[in-house]
């Protein structure tokens, strides 16, 4: 089991609470945790992040191995099941948005390989397909980045 990170984990960390210049320990921990096979994401997330043209894009470019390919039979099987659920429960516009988004590959890959999805999204009763809703249907664990750090007993401390 690994933690599979959604794009918003990277984006929110960079923009808010773990900015590169303020908290480099978070980014160092991601690299360390990936080397220990604890943390990864999917290439579709990397593609979203690379389009931003910012410091995060550069970080993703230099940490390509953290983002895995989802082009395999197990993931495709999960995609079939997930897309059928989406088609039965959401309007065409929401279906198109989700099925064309990195979230679709993220949830399917997590299901295929028994990973835990890490996201800042919250469940929705609305018209959009949200990661927590899809994970619940697929029986995939989903947690916040703060819960992941707590579970891993990560301590980001100031050293002098």
Query: Does the structure show a pLDDT above 80 at 49?
Result: yes
Rounded Cα–Cα distance for residues 47 and 50 (Å): 5
Model-level pTM? 0.95
Average pLDDT, the chain: 96
Residue 53 pLDDT grade (very low, low, confident, very high; cuts 50, 70, 90)? confident
Q: Is the pLDDT of residue 89 over 90?
A: yes
- Report strand pairing: 3-5 vs 67-68: unpaired
What CATH code is assigned to 3-151?
3.40.50.1010
- Tell me the percentage of the chain whose pLDDT exceeds 70: 100
Residue found by looking up tokens 């923009």 in the block = 15
For the record, the structure tokens of 24 come out as 């480099």
Q: Over range 40-57, report the average pLDDT.
A: 94
Q: Which two tokens stand for residue 154?
A: 């990560």
pLDDT at 159 over 90: no
Place of tokens 């191995």: 65
As a whole number, mean pLDDT of residues 40-59 equals: 94
pLDDT at 158: 80
- What angle, 0 to 180 degrees and rounded to 10, lies between the N-to-C axes of helices 102-113 and 73-89? 120
Nearest-angstrom CA–CA distance, 131 and 154: 25
**What pLDDT is stored for residue 78 in this prediction?**
98
């Amino acid at each position: 089991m690994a933690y599979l990170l959604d794009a918003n984990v990277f984006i929110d960390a960079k923009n808010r609470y773990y900015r590169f210049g303020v908290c480099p320990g978070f980014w160092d921990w991601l690299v360390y945790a990936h080397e220990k096979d604890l943390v990864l994401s999917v290439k579709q997330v990397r593609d979203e992040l690379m389009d931003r043209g910012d410091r995060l894009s550069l970080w993703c470019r230099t940490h390509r191995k953290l983002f895995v390919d989802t082009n395999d039979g197990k993931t495709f099987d999960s995609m079939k099941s997930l897309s059928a659920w989406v088609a039965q429960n959401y309007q065409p516009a929401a279906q198109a948005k989700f099925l064309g988004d990195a979230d679709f590959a993220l949830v399917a890959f997590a299901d295929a390989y028994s990973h835990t999805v890490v996201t800042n999204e919250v469940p929705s009763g609305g018209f959009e397909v949200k990661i927590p809703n899809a994970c619940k249907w697929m029986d995939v664990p989903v947690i916040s980045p703060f819960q992941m750090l707590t579970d891993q007993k990560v301590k980001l401390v100031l050293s002098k």
